[in-house]
Structure 1
Amino acid sequence: MPTALITGASRGVGAQIARALAPTHDLLLGGRGSAELDTLAMELDGAATFPVDLTDHDSLEAATEAVTSLDVLVHSAGVASSLESVADTPADEWRYLLEVNLIAAAELTRLLLPALRAAGGHVVFLNSGAGMRVNPGWTPYAASKFGLRALADGLRLEEPSLRVTSVFPGRIDTDMQRDIVAIEGADYDPSKFLKPETVAAAVAHAISTPSDAHPTDVVLRPTGR
């Protein structure tokens, strides 16, 4: 079977993407070493863990050395903003968001390009609606996601042997979303958000698209039902 590496696989959307791809791919489950990651690997019999901090570039380089051929790379890892205005966002917050949401994805992609080229692979970036528009209080986060969109678009042009897909979901029912809604001071209603399984299904569908087509951008918006 083809091999897929999924970052942020320990929970949320990343874990659901792993479950969606398990029947058709050998899996490398990326994430910081944790009981959650190990439990998912046991659930998905045959899956292997890829326990590395994506912002530790030396460890990341060492972890990727053994990967010589890779069919699918899904970038699902990411962090949310503290929802502050530009006037109130310190430089450290900008650095943190850009390091995790953009630079880590760029570096992992760079390190795995030889393996992806060898397989004629597919790179999927889980972006956000914030990668297409900016709302008040979300500027630093949106900047990281606009950058991720540029990374995907540039990679697609520079690596014609690869397929590169950006997925732009609206807000998703996850633990991270609960934290955001709490910061916003609103009541949490999961029906207002996309299900993680729905986003995972869209990612799996893009990956399974026959090779005569290149799914470049997938946009998902919650219907509220």
Structure 2
Amino acid sequence: MGVHLITGAGSGIGAAVTERLAERGEELWLLARDARRAAQLRERHPAAKTLVGDLDDPAKLSWAFGHQALPVELDSLLHIAGVVELGEIGETPVKAWQQQLNVNTIAPAELTRLLLPSLRLARGHVVFVNSGAGLRADPTWGSYAASKFAVRALADALRQEEHGNGVRVTTVYPGRTATPMQLKVHQQEGKEYDPSRWIAPESVATAVLTALDLPRDAEITEITVRPGR
């Protein structure tokens, strides 16, 4: 049985990954923004442990974790939480840039820094659920894509830095996936949302678990997942 810390466990891809790992009897640590959300996650997953930390304020994560128990050994750190705010560069305010960079990039970097000792002990695995926007920036996607391009750099550097410590690093690039975030994207685009057109969160969860379950003689560094219809 492995020990896994998951961000974004409350919905979408994060919820699907959490469900799959819970079904396997794995030990789960779920990060929540506040105590109320932590209680909601415990109701859904009574066997899981919760941590409270606001990804929108990464500078305070170290302080928050200093007042909570952390896993001694960690088999995987799964960065799945994210936020998106579409808009042309000429119309995107600093606040939108800062929130996306905080939640999508800086918080994962800080979480990884804080949990690296536990990951090294277990020769664990860091998974970044990125986005197709981490490979290509289209109009109105500039600020979100910038945060995701930065996550790609973070993962690539971390992979090389931690290889000698036995820590594996995988980036998953899903295309449009039927999640609450995708509903918000369609609303911002002014388009009708039909979830049947897009990837099921469970399919992305399968990709994540495939990377985690790969034998130790190999490492999946990147997975690109695209809608099949």
| Shorter-chain TM band | over 0.9
- Secondary structure of the corresponding residue to residue 82 of structure 2: coil
- Secondary structure of the corresponding residue to residue 213 of structure 1: coil
What residue in structure 2 maps to residue 96 of structure 1?
A: 99
What residue in structure 2 maps to residue 181 of structure 1?
A: 186
The amino acid of 1:163's aligned partner reads R
For residue 172 of structure 1, the aligned residue among 158, 174, 177 is 177
TM-score (norm 1): 0.93
The Cα shift of 1:69 comes to 1.2
The Cα shift of 1:201 comes to 1.4
Pairwise CA RMSD of aligned residues? 1.7
For residue 70 of structure 2, the aligned residue among 66, 70, 92 is 66
Q: Which moved more, 1:51-60 or 1:132-141?
A: 51-60
The amino acid of 2:185's aligned partner reads I
For residue 207 of structure 1, the aligned residue among 206, 209, 212 is 212
Q: Which moved more, 1:98-107 or 1:12-21?
A: 12-21
Structure 1 residue runs of 5 or longer lacking an equivalent are none
The amino acid of 1:8's aligned partner reads G
1:47 is aligned to 2:52: no
Would you say the 8 A contact 1:78–1:101 is kept in 2? yes
The Cα shift of 1:35 comes to 5.5
Equivalent residues in 2 for 1:1-225, closer than 5 Å: 1-22=1-22, 23-33=24-34, 37-54=38-55, 55=57, 56-62=60-66, 66-81=70-85, 83-160=86-163, 161-224=166-229
The amino acid of 1:47's aligned partner reads A
> For this pair of structures, how many residues does the alignment match?
223
Partners of 2:142 and 2:81 in 1: CA distance: 19
1:41-84 deviations in Å (ceiling 9; x for gaps): 34434211122212233444425663321110000111012x21
State the identity as a percent: 47
Would you say the 8 A contact 1:64–1:112 is kept in 2? no
Q: Against the structure 1 CA distance between its residues 113 and 58, is the aligned structure 2 distance closer, same or farther, given a 3 Å change threshold?
A: closer
- Secondary structure of the corresponding residue to residue 159 of structure 1: helix
The amino acid of 2:169's aligned partner reads V
Structure 2 residue runs of 5 or longer lacking an equivalent are none
The runs of 4+ residues in structure 1 deviating greater than 6 Å are none
